[in-house]
Amino acid sequence: MHQKELDGRIALVTGAGQGIGEAVTRTLAARGARVVAVDRNAAAVKALEAEYRRKAEEGAGPEPAVLARPADITDAAAVDALVEDVERTVGSLGILVNVAGILRPAPVVELGDTDWAETFAVNTTGVFATSRAAARRMRARRSGCIVTVGSNAAGVPRAGMAAYAASKAAATMFTKCLGLELARDQVRCNVVSPGSTDTAMQRQLWDGDEKSAERRVIDGDPAAYRVGIPLGRIAEPVDIAEAVAFLVSDRARHITMHDLYVDGGATLRA
């Protein structure tokens, strides 16, 4: 049987219940990893596990490639217990992908304290909690990869998205600092920064009919100081998942502390 590039690797993916997190889960599983799917939406990750259990029973493998672990990553104690349980019952964690995130759009002068705090609790503190728990084990084994899914909004101001952009900027710099601290221990830490991607989060920003809203994203909005997408399309979740799969693979073995923008050129980065 042909060996897949992530055979034997145990991965944990947060935000696995939908969108980019689900796409990352499926992509890593297709490459041979056994994936622990984490989300506070228990029904969503349990449905994923059930799907992969059926595949295993139909001969796809001796055990399901995806295991559900409902959890709230804003609870640091729960995160520590989760990682401990994975290490004990599934195997040594070799890959962590931080995808879980929320968006509470509002102008700063209208942004509530709760929306600000909850945005940072998930997008930044959650990344800290999961990364810390995984890093402790990976450093001891001198092996592992951590990828945080950030956003191109972390590097470009966005009107009405201050909390989201700031939280993603913090998570991005945190991941780079962690990568520096763990480099001598052979643990790589990178960031994937999507632009507009066809997910439920993206669609909550759309006004009017779907086609017109998508066109406005692609063409840009000068009134909001926002350029469009040079490649002429909105990303699909799998586009982001493929970038993550590359960074956790041995093909990227000499890449750490990198921020890979997957935005169709929307930020016009030099």
Catalytic positions are 164
Cβ-Cβ contacts under 8 Å for 207 (sequence gap 6 or more): 213
The secondary structure of residue 270, as a DSSP letter, is -
- At 228, is the secondary structure helix, strand, or coil? coil
The DSSP string of 33-67 is: -EEEEEES-HHHHHHHHHHHHHHIIIII-SS-SEE
The rounded Cα 200 to chain-centroid distance in angstroms is 15
Placement of tokens 């063409």 in the chain: 219
Q: What are phi and psi for residue 3, nearest 5 degrees?
A: -80, 135
The secondary structure of residue 122, as a DSSP letter, is I
Residue 125's nearest CA partner among 83, 72, 191 is: 72
Q: By CB neighbour count within 10 A (0-12 exposed, 13-18 middle, 19+ buried), where does 107 fall? A: exposed
Query: How many CB atoms lie under 10 A from the CB of residue 260?
Result: 18
The secondary structure of residue 109, as a DSSP letter, is G
- At 254, is the secondary structure helix, strand, or coil? coil
Alpha-carbon torsion, ordered 24, 26, 30, 33, to 10 deg: 70
